[in-house]
């Protein structure tokens, strides 16, 4: 297996050692090499025809040198020894003429199992084998609602061969698949137009493509469209918000996940940087960032620093108990890295990033949670979100939901932004449902670099958030 990866990148172990030696020639504390060969493939169906598609190849090696917490980074788009040595020398510049450093970077254990074995390798499938699926999916969607005037289907996959080597002598390698399908339907009713999308994305092979996926997507993309035509903008202001199970995990991602990333805390910039060991949520609330869910979009056998994936409790019983660490922050805090050192590709140095972020189930009945709200809003479909790390102010955009009046769901609502403050929102959690659901849509996080993530949540009641409205 090891030789397979060495052959993909046309390097020997001796060369790896030489590169590390060169990169540390100016006195760095730690060095790692990240080799990547990724093939991307995509197909697009519009107007009933799969009339565009393509594939893309990316290949290279990133070389990082750490001196204390300082980073030198360079890369080469080929693995000719001369070019890799040039990149190693460029990265080594960080250690030149600086007395700082002397930090210890610790060895990590090995991973025990493959979280995403491919039954069918995407690379072995040609484009024509996916066309029937896309055409049938288009028919399945169109046949579900006569108001549909357009269907757009995107199918994409990627397979990455990754090999990592570092100055501690750790050599790790793996192959990471990703498959995604997104369906968008446009509906017309009288002079009104509405659109709705549904997506699924998993770290798995081409066995993802099949009738079960087709039915899920076709059902979901037409569900709730009647309500969308009838939806209103609520009166804006502060109110109780019930977050529906599943995609509401975006709240955790924005309200606290980013603020728990250890780089922001190491620099003192996060609103949570002085909250370690303190209560940040009510008792009984557990919030997790997990890299070990089989086939999940955010999972990793290893992170992009060669650290095995793990399930990290950020909040246990309401108490903040861990930040999300890469090797730099782990060394700075004197703890083990948590497997959150991730990067978009070999062109970027790794930084702390989330994986699958979710809250564990509580014991409340979801219907009872809604029934407990006199006036408020229930939200269950989202698109984008954002956060200001220092201030803790976060937002997320709600694509659909309902008003809650006297404990009952009433008028549908859509296209509203919700804003809150992270620490306040967490302490304002009033009830946690028993229905945790992980959302498997095409979530992508864009903190300087894009990485695939996922999120999840049980039904949760927050006593006060600010809702946009007329």
Q: What angle do CA 113, 344, 456 make, to 5 degrees?
A: 60
Gap between the terminal Cα atoms of the chain: 60
Least Å distance between CB 142 and another protein?
Answer: 14
Residue 389 interacts with another protein (CB under 8 A)? yes
Stretch touching another protein by CB under 8 A, among 66-74, 171-179, 336-344, 446-454: 66-74
132 touches another protein (CB under 8 A): no
* Of the candidate residues 25, 131, 321, 411, the single one contacting another protein (CB under 8 A): 131
Token pair belonging to 274: 């002085």
Site for another protein in 238-267 (CB under 8 A): 238, 254, 267
Stretch that binds another protein, among 4-12, 276-284, 368-376, 377-385 (CB under 8 A): 377-385
What is the smallest separation between the CB atom of 205 and another protein, expressed in angstroms? 19
Nearer to another protein, 348 or 358 (CB): 348
Cβ neighbours, 10 Å, residue 382: 26
- Of 372 and 464, the one with the shorter C-beta distance to another protein is 464
For residues 30-49, b (16+ Cβ closer than 10 Å) or e, as one string?
A: bbbbbbbbbbbbbbbbeeee
Choose among 431, 364, 371: nearest CA to 407: 371
Q: x/- string (CB under 8 A) for another protein, residues 390-429?
A: xxxxxxxx----------------xxxxxxxx--------
Q: Is 283 in the site for another protein (CB under 8 A)?
A: no
Closer to another protein by CB, 268 or 277: give it: 268
Q: What is the secondary structure of 438-450 as a DSSP string?
A: EE-S--EE-SSS-
Q: Which of 46, 123, 147, 316 binds another protein (CB under 8 A)?
A: 46
Q: Is 453 in the site for another protein (CB under 8 A)?
A: no
Is 186 one of the binding residues for another protein (CB under 8 A)? Answer: yes
Q: Does 282 bind another protein (CB under 8 A)?
A: no
Indicate which single residue of 7, 17, 52, 375 sits in contact with another protein (rule: CB under 8 A).
52
Q: Which of residues 206-245 bind another protein (CB under 8 A)?
A: 233, 236-238
Nearest distance in Å: CB 119, another protein = 23
Binding status of residue 191 toward another protein by CB under 8 A: no
- Report d(CA 196, CA 383) in Å as an integer: 11
| Smallest separation, CB 258 to another protein (Å) | 12
Six token digits for residue 461: 């009641």
Spatial CA neighbour of 455 closest among 311, 245, 301, 246 = 246
Rounded to whole angstroms, the Cα distance separating 8 from 144 reads 46
> Which residues 72-101 are close enough to bind another protein by CB under 8 A?
72-78, 87, 90-91, 93-94, 98, 100
What per-residue string of b and e applies to 152-185 under the rule 16 or more CB within 10 Å gives b?
bbbbbbbbbbbbbbbbbebbbbbbbbbbbbbbbb
Rounded distance between C-alpha atoms, residue 294 and residue 297, angstroms: 9
Per CB under 8 A, the segment of 111-119, 335-343, 381-389, 429-437 that binds another protein is 381-389
Q: Is residue 145 a contact residue for another protein (CB under 8 A)?
A: no
Name which of 128 and 283 has its Cβ closer to another protein. 128
- Determine, following the binding rule CB under 8 A, whether residue 278 of this chain makes contact with another protein: no
Q: Which of these ranges, 108-116, 219-227, 385-393, 437-445, lies near another protein under the rule CB under 8 A?
A: 385-393
**Radius of gyration, alpha carbons of the chain:** 24
Nearer to another protein, 51 or 410 (CB): 51
For the chain, how are helix, strand and coil distributed in percent, rounded to 5? 25, 40, 35
Residues 309 and 111: beta-carbon distance below 8 Å:
yes
For another protein, which residue of 16, 50, 222, 243 counts as binding (CB under 8 A)?
50
Residue 82: CB atoms within 10 A of its CB come to 8
Residue 27 binds to another protein (criterion: CB under 8 A): no
Which of residues 139, 372, 386, 427 is near another protein by CB under 8 A?
Answer: 386
Question: In terms of CB distance, is 328 or 370 closer to another protein?
Answer: 328
Comparing CA positions, the residue from 315, 208, 301, 172 lying closest to residue 257 is: 315
One-character DSSP codes across 21-76? HHHTTT--SEEEEEEEEEEEEEEEEETTEEEEEEEEEEEEEEEEEEETTEEEEEEE
| Residue 434 CB, nearest approach to another protein (Å) | 30
Total of chain residues touching another protein, rule CB under 8 A: 81
Q: Is 293 in the site for another protein (CB under 8 A)?
A: no
Nearest approach in angstroms of CB 279 to another protein is 17
């Amino acid at each position: 297996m090891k030789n397979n990866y060495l052959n993909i990148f046309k390097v020997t172990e001796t060369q790896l050692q030489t590169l590390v030696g060169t990169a540390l020639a100016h006195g760095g504390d730690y060095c790692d090499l990240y080799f990547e060969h990724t093939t991307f493939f995509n197909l697009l169906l519009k107007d009933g025809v799969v009339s565009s598609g393509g594939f893309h190849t990316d290949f290279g090696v990133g070389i990082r040198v750490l001196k204390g917490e300082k980073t030198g980074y360079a890369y080469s788009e080929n693995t000719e020894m001369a070019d890799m040595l040039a990149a190693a020398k460029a990265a080594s510049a960080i250690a030149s003429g600086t007395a700082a450093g002397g930090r210890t970077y610790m060895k990590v254990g090995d991973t025990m199992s493959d979280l995403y074995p491919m039954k069918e390798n995407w690379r072995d499938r040609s484009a024509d084998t996916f066309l029937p699926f896309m055409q049938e999916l288009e028919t399945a969607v169109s046949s579900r609602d006569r108001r549909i005037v357009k269907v757009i289907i995107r199918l994409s996959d990627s397979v990455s061969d990754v090999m990592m080597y570092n100055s501690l002598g750790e050599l790790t390698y793996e192959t990471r698949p990703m498959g995604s399908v997104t369906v968008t339907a446009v509906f017309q009713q009288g002079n009104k137009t509405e659109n709705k999308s549904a997506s699924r994305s998993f770290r798995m092979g081409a066995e993802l493509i099949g009738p079960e996926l087709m039915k899920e997507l076709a059902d979901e993309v037409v569900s709730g469209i009647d309500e969308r035509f009838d939806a209103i903008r609520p009166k804006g202001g502060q109110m109780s918000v019930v977050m529906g199970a599943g995609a509401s995990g975006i709240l955790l991602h924005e309200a606290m996940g980013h603020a728990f990333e250890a780089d922001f805390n190491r620099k003192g910039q996060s609103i949570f940087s002085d909250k370690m060991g303190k209560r940040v949520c009510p008792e009984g609330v557990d919030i997790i960032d997990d890299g070990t869910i089989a086939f999940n979009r955010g999972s990793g056998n290893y992170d992009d620093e060669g650290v095995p994936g793990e399930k990290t409790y950020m909040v246990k019983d309401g108490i903040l108990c861990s930040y999300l660490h890469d090797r730099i922050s782990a060394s700075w805090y004197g703890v083990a890295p948590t497997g959150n050192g991730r990067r978009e590709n070999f062109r970027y140095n790794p930084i702390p990033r989330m994986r699958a972020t979710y809250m564990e189930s509580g014991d409340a009945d979801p219907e009872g949670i809604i029934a407990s709200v006199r006036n408020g809003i229930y939200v269950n479909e989202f698109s984008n979100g954002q956060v200001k790390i220092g201030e803790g102010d976060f937002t997320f955009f709600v694509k659909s939901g309902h008003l809650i009046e006297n404990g009952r769901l009433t008028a549908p609502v859509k296209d509203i932004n919700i804003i809150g403050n992270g620490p306040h929102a967490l302490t304002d959690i009033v009830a946690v449902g028993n229905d945790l659901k992980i959302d498997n849509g095409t979530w992508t996080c864009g903190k300087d670099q894009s990485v695939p993530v996922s999120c999840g949540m049980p039904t949760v009641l927050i006593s006060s958030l600010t809702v946009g409205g007329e």
